[in-house]
Amino acid sequence: MVDEGDSLQAVEESVLSSERFWYALDRQLVSSGLRLLLLLPSFSFLTAFGALAYAQDSPAWWDKIEPTVNLSFAMTLTSLTFVILFGYIITQIVHRHRTQLTIAHFQSEVNRLNLEHRAVQSLHGYEGLVHHMSSVRSKHTLSLSYAVISTMLIIGIFFVNIETLNGRILLLLSFSFTLLSLGQHLSTRSRPFNMDERTGLLEAYNPPIHPSTLEMVFSDLVKTHMDPLLRSEYEVYSKEIESCFIPGTNPQFAREKILMTLYRHSKGLDFKTMETELSEVLNDEGMELVKSHPVFTMEEWLSIIHHVERSCPAFFRMIGRIEEDLGAGRKTITDDIVFEVDMENVVHERANLFTLMHNLSDEPRTIVLRVQSPDFRPHDLAMTYRLNPGEKRWWSNSPLPLAAEGDDDVLGLMSGLLRDGTMAWQSMLPERFGEATVSVRLEEQSGDLLIGRQINVRVRSKYRERVRTSGSITANLLGGLGLILGAFIKIRDIFDAI
């Protein structure tokens, strides 16, 4: 077993080293940075159109150059098209090879975790992530195949000459296959992934489910958005960090305070103050673990928090509003309950509705949370919650500092509020684009209204996603039409000759 583990580790290090080089090349020149995968086919369209336009007659100024190059202007542009498409094939090979290395690295990491008895395959979202990566690889293969066919058709023009009908048909078919290749590539750019970075799978991972009621708010939110590999590492990290809590510290409170402090650090909390806050729940070993963990470094935490913040802006806006109220010493709407609700201002695909409820009284209360909207599904949703009193009154009517010794500060009260409060997270599915409204009511069991809020949002598609999808569909459609047109012209020419 040891030998097998060492062998897997050696393979993984080799794959990682190769991926790091190819991913750097891909990021700087191919798929990002210079974006040769988009630039080269675009230039090939210009040269192909120029060759078609001057297939019969070269421009007058070319008469002085043609004896030197011994090619007509159209054939020169065709040669240039061949060079560009050859470069396009090279970039396709680089991009697909990098994708293949990423998938191989992913699989080797899964095998390593299986040897450590951490079955990643059983985690939610694993199958969807694997299917996405395999689908992207298949599309890259198809895109590369179309590019190769397009280049071979260009080579055929040199044998029949572009001045002939067959030459122009070959140029049209080459143009069509290049469009099909570009269409396949555009459909893979929405959810990029890599294994060179620890957070390289976050964009590709789409959480299939999430809890409707968050027990440990920050922990549940972070784990929901982590890809299976990162979530598996986080479970180990949680156990390691829990062994470093100061004796007598509530583990749930400590975990929430650590994540809350890291979030505040990402928003500008200075490093010294962050260390002071973390030292209230962690011993020296835990502080060292947070600062120098091999997987969850400060940079990785900032990337993870930034990703979660972009995915659920309503949650962070809501807790930001509560922090402002705590810092300013504002009173709650009612004396015995904290109630806050928020939702994205602009909704794409689905809306995340977050509701925080906390009982400030000394007696348990049973309340009904009702969500109603004519523009979202479900149209009418009612959930009954039993709100128990908190460990202490996690609110203050006096202004508080953001961070201070002890828990009588904004970070301490906010951590306790998230731990003892009840956070509901509902996904609302829009039924139409445009303006939409959502009504959120907190009611007694008898139906009497306690607190009500109405949220106005705008539902629309993602602009970049819409452009990519439209571009991919258009390229595939035009490419298919070009193939049909080329075949039709050739068939008509055959019948005319008869």
Lowest mean pLDDT among 31-40, 158-167, 330-339, 487-496: 330-339
Nearest by Cα to 158 from 54, 60, 81, 47: 81
Distance of CA 53 to CAs 59, 65, 163, Å? 10, 19, 11
- Which residues make beta-bridge pairs with 356? 340, 423
Residue-wise pLDDT tens digits, 133-187: 999 999 999 999 999 999 999 999 999 988 899 999 999 999 999 999 999 999 9
Q: How far apart are the first and last CA of the chain?
A: 74
Contact 74, 163 (CB under 8 A): yes
DSSP string, 324-365: HHHHHTPPPSSSSEEEEEEE-SEEBSBEEEEEEEEE-SSS-E
Q: Cα–chain-centroid distance for residue 362?
A: 43
Contact 205, 308 (CB under 8 A): no
Confidence of residue 10 (pLDDT cuts 50, 70, 90): low
Residue-wise pLDDT tens digits, 195-206: 998 899 999 998
3-state SS, residue 138? helix
- φ, ψ at 383 (rounded to 5°): -130, 135
- What is the arithmetic mean of pLDDT over 213-221? 88
Give the H or E element holding residue 146: helix 126-160
Contact 352, 344 (CB under 8 A): yes
SS (H, E, C) 19-33: HHHHHHHHHHHHCCC
Query: What's the token pair of residue 373?
Result: 């909207």
Residues 6+ apart with CB under 8 A from 159: none
Lowest mean pLDDT among 252-261, 399-408, 470-479: 399-408
Is the pLDDT assigned to residue 83 strictly greater than 50? yes
Residue-wise pLDDT tens digits, 336-349: 888 899 999 998 88
Residue-wise pLDDT tens digits, 220-272: 999 999 999 999 999 899 999 999 999 988 888 888 889 988 998 888 888 88
Higher pLDDT, 260 or 131: 131
Written as one letter, the residue type at 54 is Y
61 C-beta neighbours (distance < 10 Å), count? 8
Rounded Cα gap, residues 387 and 16, in angstroms: 49
Q: What is the mean pLDDT of the chain?
A: 89
Long-range contacts from 267-270, C-beta under 8 angstroms, 24+ separation:
269/402, 269/403
- φ, ψ at 162 (rounded to 5°): -75, -15
